[in-house]
Structure 1
């Protein structure tokens, strides 16, 4: 089992996305949070390897876990002792916008 640390910026992105979904449809924000929590559990349990990011994201060493129901990636850097979630990134947002966060 890996330790997972979530950067404040990534946490804020999840909160903002959940608020938007909740505004669009009651209960959808909670479902988004649940999907993020499942993804974090998958990273923590190391069930499946994270996928490489598209080239536009740069060569940061970050990888992603794509949420199934929502158009979001959980972007993380895998270190020997832990995985660091650096972004909860919407697929339509500029790829690699989080690159300055990639030095945890």
Structure 2
């Protein structure tokens, strides 16, 4: 199953990696590896996350204050946000594609 990040979600991933890298390059590598690991898990088990705003689901990144917010659509996972846990819940709702 393919994973597709919306541009805003991709930007959040880049910003988070840059944030960790500026403070601790090893932490940035660990964060990126954790995100990629969870992506692989979701590719194999796409419905394992709770539907927070059906059909959108939230999957936490272990050891980091982030969750992948995504939806299963045909043969791909659409990631709408890499949401930091301290942000306002649902801040990403305006990104939801009308057609999905």
Q: TM-score, normalised by structure 2?
A: 0.86
| Superposed structure 1 runs of 4+ greater than 6 Å apart | none
Per-residue deviation, 1:52: 2.7
How many residue pairs align between the two structures?
Answer: 98
Per-residue deviation, 1:34: 0.8
Tell me what 1:50 maps to: 49
The SS at the match of 2:91 is coil
The answer to whether the 8 Å contact 1:52/1:64 transfers is yes
- Equivalent runs, 1:27-46 vs 2, <5 Å: 27-46=26-45
Tell me what 1:89 maps to: 83
Where in structure 2 are there 5+ consecutive unaligned residues?
none
Tell me what 2:7 maps to: 8
* Superposed CA offset, 1:12-65 (max 9, x none): 101101111111223111111111111111111127611232xxxxx4521011
CA RMSD of aligned residues (A): 1.7
Partners of 1:72 and 1:62 lie apart in 2 by 16
Select the structure that is richer in strand: 2
Partners of 1:97 and 1:68 lie apart in 2 by 21
Partners of 2:47 and 2:76 lie apart in 1 by 15
Pair 1:79 & 2:77 matched = no
The SS at the match of 1:94 is coil
Tell me what 1:17 maps to: 16
